[in-house]
Structure 1
Amino acid sequence: MATGNHTAVEEFVLQSFSEDLRLRGLFLALFLLLYLGALAGNALIVMAISLHPGLHTPMYFFLTNLAVVDIVCTSTVLPRLLENLVVKGGAISYGGCMTQLFFLTECLAAELLLLTVMAYDRYVAVCRPLHYSMLMSWPVCALLAGSVWTVSVCNTTLHTGLMTRLMFCGPNQIRHFMCEVPTLLLLSCSPTTLNNIVIVLADVYFGVVNFLLIMASYGCIIASVLRIRSAQGKQRAFSTCSSHLLVVSLYYSTVFYTYILPGSGSSMENGKVVALLYTAVSPMLNPLIYSLRNKDVKVAFRNVFSCIR
């Protein structure tokens, strides 16, 4: 029966992460730890930066935005994944699937844009230190952050809107543990040409263009650092960028595998593992990466724990 959103499918069925019943208990415990770790780590980042005046700088302002994105991303995917490991069936309503698609797509776009903005912040800090306060003033930071959220919302609204125009006549078995654009397009019985064109344009902008901008920023940073004569000065400059560069490498490798090079992810099991990396592992590791080698964040964490006590 057709409805106002042009679909005959009222619910989809998500695959479990593993069909092996013997491994479900292990995966349930592992993914629960990942989820709790991601929530706790990113919540601590937000609290530490908010309560510690010494961290009220542009770099940590964008890190707070990144932590919020990670909390939303992992909360969009992992609760449903955990439920599917406990409850047999994995059914998700059409509206629930579109909602998950909306927030997941928004988080992916926002994270890619934030990583680019953070690379620009590091470029200004290392290459234009005398003009840093002017180029990264609070109005500029607010404009950059607002642009990130606005562009990501517009992007996900476009993708979700185009998806709701498609007809799903059956089957309704999604070959994944979450609702995302590529897997849903495989189930549509309507032409998906427009969707595919928009996906390519989004991939080029969010994936390729932003990646090139990050690489250009780091190219300038490396050139500037090499001109520093003292070894201590070089080490200090590189240390301010190492955490961000590690996060960029981890995140882009998984996103490129899934969206930019979909042919390489022909194995559904490999695709599930990679999706888990950017929806669960990366959000859990980001707070660790940014805090382990950062003395200011460690001090802020201690202050948070002392306040809790």
Structure 2
Amino acid sequence: MNPEEIQAVLRALAAVVAEHYVFPEVGAEVAARLIGAAESGRYDELGTPERLSEVVTADLQLGNNDLHLRLMFHPGEVPDEEDPAAEEAYWLRRAELDAGGVGRIERLDGNIGLLELRPLLYDPAHAGAAMTAALSMVATTDALLIDLRRCVGGSPEQVALVCGHLFGPEPVHLNDLVTPSDGTVRQYWTTPSVGAPRFGATKPIWVLTSASTFSGGEELSYDLQQLGRAVIVGERTRGGAHPRRGFKLHSHLEATVPVQRAMNPISGTNWEGTGVAPDIEVPAADAFTVAYRRALEHVLTLSSDPDRRSVTDEARAVLGAAVVAG
């Protein structure tokens, strides 16, 4: 990139931050600081989009620590938000390549479900069928492990879809998104019908987290924790609660600008800057072992009628040996 291209990107970035950032006063300050740095020549010699993204992102987050506020480098072509058909095709292709965000699904010994969701909780329009199918497959297990250690974002609509399978038919209020620019509040609830068997509201759930768990992965963790529906096992998450919007500034550079803030109906706040604190804090590498052991202990409390005997025997056998980490 030559200095003229870099200056054009910086002017466009400052404009979208000033206009759209979730906290207008902060957005104006960040934009002014960015323009001042650009005019001083701070970025002129960076040369490549990738290097520019690294330096500018650090400057954008200076003081506010908002990890969603970024100049993001894309090795391929950035989807254009002003071309809905192209953007739709981009996200559909990404969801297809990632199996709808379902990284792993398994029935573990003891009739315990394991559902790993990564890298993103894709919008239901792109991955709802895949997610529903995965959740249906674990619906009849006696306990569930949801692995979000490598889940780094996603759609609040997909969070609501997942949660719909983990409660009963009565609607449950999960989260609100507040848009400061117009004062609107969008509420997210589970739905009475999910079109498939539910795991339900009573069987235990353990959610595995890491220091990499971010954004949509954090919302799913936080919503379930606040509602007392799951036990969080692992590490404190990264702390990004401001949903963002993407703006194409260059063929390989996208501005990601937070435009809303989450407000949980129970806590009255969110996990921005603090992350989701685990209920059981262990290194991420140990989270599976700890959660699986607790799930096996739960299975052994269930009725030992003849139809269940093989399941409890599996649980005893695994607890009698070392639990193998996933």
TM-score, structure 1 length as denominator?
0.28
Higher relative contact order (CA 8 A, sep 6+): 1
TM-score when normalising by structure 2: 0.27
Task: Tell me which protein shows more strand as a share of its residues.
Answer: 2
Larger radius of gyration: 2
